[in-house]
């Protein structure tokens, strides 16, 4: 059994190595994360690669271009990062058609499909005449997503989320959410707190009265 697992691990590392080589031209176009326009072009191209090969290609590309990215994570079809300053921990899963801004995603966090994690920008800045400015008119801030989080389908996250927290499907996070809770709604509010009775099995506690 141990020999079989070692062989599977070796095979996986070999495949990852092949895709790192295949991703090199796209990473070079992106200036290995230093050229924003090239990064956007390559990220969009990687997003359209189908199937398991596409998953390997995306992770390899982001390994070469993001601030940090574990090869043992997975990014599904149609999903892409908009900023090379993002980071992806180990064992992270990102579902299909997600848009990830300037963010940090902790180990083992899972993101369902159609989730947007937006850069924590001061939204829709306006000039003295009241005209809306472009992206250059505001400041982009890092959104921190903790370890062991779950972001439900179609959630929109604009503020940091603490470790072990679940964000419900369709929730809109506009203010930081603390660790170890379940938050739902628009705007997202804490519904329940999570306690841990075993290191691998979280349990939902009764809601606290406020």
Q: What is the pTM of this model?
A: 0.86
Q: Which residues of 124-163 are buried (b: 16+ CB within 10 A; e: fewer)?
A: eeeeeeeeeeeeeeeebbbbbbbbbbbbbbbbbbbbbbbb
189 Rama class: left (phi>0) / alpha (psi -120 to 50) / beta: beta
pLDDT of residue 125: 65
Please state, in angstroms and rounded to a whole number, the distance separating the CA atoms of residues 174 and 26: 34
- The residues near 149 (Cβ < 8 Å, ≥ 6 apart) are 106, 109, 110, 161, 162, 163, 164, 165, 166, 167
Give 198 or 14, the one with higher predicted confidence: 14
Please state, in angstroms and rounded to a whole number, the distance separating the CA atoms of residues 57 and 91: 16
Note the pLDDT tens digit of each residue in 37-90: 999 999 999 999 999 999 999 999 999 999 999 999 999 999 999 999 999 999
Delimiting residues of CATH 2.160.10.10 domain(s) in the chain: 72-210
Q: Which H helix or E strand runs over 8? A: helix 2-29
Note the pLDDT tens digit of each residue in 160-192: 999 999 999 999 999 999 999 999 999 999 999
Q: Which CATH architecture has domain 72-210?
A: 3 Solenoid (2.160)
Band of pLDDT at residue 137, cut at 50, 70 and 90: low
Please state, in angstroms and rounded to a whole number, the distance separating the CA atoms of residues 187 and 157: 10
């Amino acid at each position: 059994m141990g020999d079989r697992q070692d062989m599977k691990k070796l095979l996986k590392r070999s495949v990852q190595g092949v895709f790192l080589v295949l991703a090199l031209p796209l990473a070079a176009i992106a200036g290995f994360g230093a050229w924003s326009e090239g990064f956007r072009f390559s990220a969009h191209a990687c997003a359209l690669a189908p199937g398991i090969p596409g998953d390997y290609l995306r992770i390899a590309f982001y390994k070469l271009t993001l601030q940090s990215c574990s090869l043992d994570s997975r990014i599904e079809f149609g999903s892409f990062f908009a900023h090379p300053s993002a980071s992806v921990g180990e064992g992270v899963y990102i579902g299909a058609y997600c848009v990830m801004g300037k963010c940090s995603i902790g180990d083992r966090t899972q993101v369902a499909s159609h989730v947007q994690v937006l850069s924590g920008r001061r939204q829709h800045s306006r000039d003295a005449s009241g005209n809306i400015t472009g992206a250059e008119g505001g400041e982009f801030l890092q959104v921190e997503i903790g370890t062991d989080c779950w972001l439900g389908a179609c959630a929109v996250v604009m503020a940091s989320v603490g470790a072990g927290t679940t964000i419900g499907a369709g929730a809109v996070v506009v203010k930081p959410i603390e660790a170890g809770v379940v938050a739902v709604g628009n705007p997202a509010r804490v519904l329940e707190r999570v306690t841990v009775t075993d290191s691998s099995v979280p349990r939902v506690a009764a809601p606290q009265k406020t």
